[in-house]
Amino acid sequence: MRRSNDVEKIIMREWEERIVPSDLAEDREFLGRLASVFDKRGRRVFDLILKNDGRVAIKARNYVGIFAVKDSKGRDVVLIVEPKIGVKNIVWMLAFNEARSFNEVREIEAMLSKPVGRESIMDLLIIGLIRSFTERLSQALVYGFAETSLASVEESPVIRGRILSSVLLRTLLSSPIPNVAYEIQYFTTDNILNHYILDACYMLYNGASDLLKIADVNETVLRRALLEFDYSPLGFLAGDISPSRLLNEMPLDRPYLHDLLRLASIIRRWLEQGRPPYPGEFVSVPALYINMNKLFERFVRKAMILIAKWLRRSRNINIAVRKAGREERALVVLPKRKTYLNPDIVIEVNGRPIAIGDVKYKLVKDPLESGPKGDREGVSQVFTYIHGWNVEKGLLVYPSVKNETSYHRYILTDERKLYVVRLHVNERPKTFKELRTSKIFKVLSDLLLELVS
């Protein structure tokens, strides 16, 4: 636990526990908010644990990044979750998942890596932050920025708005040609909402050009926004404006503007401090994180797809690996089809499914055990997948507990087979030849050969 600028910081690694300071442990409002931190799919990010000695602990789950939670006094408590496998390994996994070739892996990895050898999760997240900001900015340029209504009073023989009865006699009698005073409504994009966002564009363009290159962001989007609005920073850049107040004024029918404003608030605080947005600058921005379960799932599937392609070429086995289709298999078929079986991995031979699998980014000593060291729920899930898909084999893939890559086979009561696979992501091959010599490639290729036998 650290404290600076009246901001509490709780620093941990994924899956680790940290004891909550006594003042926060007694703050029910804070604990309630912490227990209500969910990801975009409504899944809880942290667990609260009551220890035997009465103290309260926070346990990180499968997310890395920064999360800000208010206590009952309105103070920010910022939780920093660093990756257990290392930032460089996460960068490589992201590059590996996104690339279409190993040349692209190297290019993306170089693009995501920060210079000077820094390895903070914040450095990686800020790259994604800038990309998301420019993507939302592009949407705003296409679909429109925030518009606010203004009223002006005009006088004319032709009525074009709401008549102002209070000055009606004066305007009728004060001119040879009778005029009518009326109030006319019009909309403008020259408002504080858009200026707040454009300030972030201006600050990025002038103060973070090197980082824009690292993030592979085209400065044209920023220049276009500033030019189209004839932007001038004077009078707005130094203003202390509350993003939460601005969010209440943002039009509800344009969700991309809400995202853009939140991202702008982080960027402004980051550049105003002259350094990456370490905790303390995340007021009104609840989270900036990577879902490690999703990242690990995509990594495992991509690796198995590459190995399956290699087996088709080298062993002449017509094997394929893919993700299940959303409407492909239904557990309930009557009275109405309901799709509940959607495994992460489907393995086919000659176009026929022979095995299915689920990927879970969690530390499990033995999934067949009960309690916190096991994963009975995961075993039951794959057991249901096996029967729902009518295949003979299923697999569960976890990150390694003992820092080794291996798999074990279990025979179920109905003679079907369950494979428990553990992967240790400690290598970052730069070519397919290097991947071929890795432990992950050897274990997964042996597994696929056993599944097809």
Q: What is the pLDDT of residue 237?
A: 46
Count of structural domains, the chain: 4
Q: What is the pLDDT of residue 411?
A: 95
Q: pLDDT band at 260, cuts 50/70/90?
A: confident
Residues of the chain with pLDDT > 70: what percent?
Answer: 77
Same domain assignment for residues 310 and 231: no
In whole angstroms, give the CA distance from residue 339 to residue 353. 17
Q: What is the pLDDT of residue 43?
A: 83
Q: What is the pLDDT of residue 280?
A: 41
Instruction: Give the list of residues 6+ apart from residue 227 with CB closer than 8 angstroms, or none.
Output: none
Strand duo 393-399 + 352-359: pairing: parallel
Same domain assignment for residues 437 and 324: yes
Q: What is the pLDDT of residue 2?
A: 47
Q: What is the pLDDT of residue 275?
A: 43
In whole angstroms, give the CA distance from residue 209 to residue 248. 31
Same domain assignment for residues 279 and 252: yes
- For tokens 């022979």, the residue is 354
Same domain assignment for residues 305 and 426: yes
Structure tokens at 244: 């939460």
Q: pTM, whole model, 2 decimals?
A: 0.72
Residues of the chain with pLDDT > 90: what percent?
Answer: 32
Same domain assignment for residues 125 and 206: yes
Q: pLDDT band at 144, cuts 50/70/90?
A: confident
Q: Which of 44-48, 107-111, 173-177, 386-390 has the lowest mean pLDDT?
A: 173-177
Q: Which of 8-17, 36-45, 211-220, 390-399 has the lowest mean pLDDT?
A: 211-220
Is residue 390 within a helix (H) or strand (E), and if so which, with residue range?
A: none
Same domain assignment for residues 207 and 253: yes
Residues 73-131: tens digit of each pLDDT: 887 788 889 888 888 888 899 889 888 888 888 877 776 766 555 567 766 777 777 88
Same domain assignment for residues 29 and 167: no
Same domain assignment for residues 325 and 404: yes
Predicted confidence (pLDDT) at residue 362 exceeds the cutoff of 70:
yes
Instruction: Give the list of residues 6+ apart from residue 279 with CB closer than 8 angstroms, or none.
Output: 7, 9, 66, 68, 76, 78, 80
Predicted confidence (pLDDT) at residue 168 exceeds the cutoff of 70:
no
Residues 435-451: tens digit of each pLDDT: 999 999 999 999 999 99
Same domain assignment for residues 272 and 298: no
Strand duo 393-399 + 417-423: pairing: parallel
Q: What is the pLDDT of residue 322?
A: 93
Predicted confidence (pLDDT) at residue 207 exceeds the cutoff of 90:
no
Q: How much is the average pLDDT of 19-33?
A: 91
DSSP string spanning 324-371? PPTTS--SB-SSS-B-----SEEEEETTEEEEEEEE--S--S-TTSSS
Which domain-ending residue is among 285, 315, 345?
A: 285
Residues 228/141, Cβ–Cβ less than 8 Å = yes
Q: What is the pLDDT of residue 211?
A: 67
Q: What is the mean pLDDT of the chain?
A: 81
Which domain-ending residue is among 42, 57, 82?
A: 82
Which domain-ending residue is among 164, 188, 212?
A: 188
Same domain assignment for residues 297 and 390: yes
Question: What are the residue ranges of helices labelled H in 174-218?
Answer: 192-207, 209-214
Range(s) of the domain holding residue 410: 292-452
Same domain assignment for residues 156 and 218: no
Same domain assignment for residues 445 and 328: yes
Q: What is the pLDDT of residue 210?
A: 66
In terms of pLDDT, which residue wins out, 305 or 54?
Answer: 305
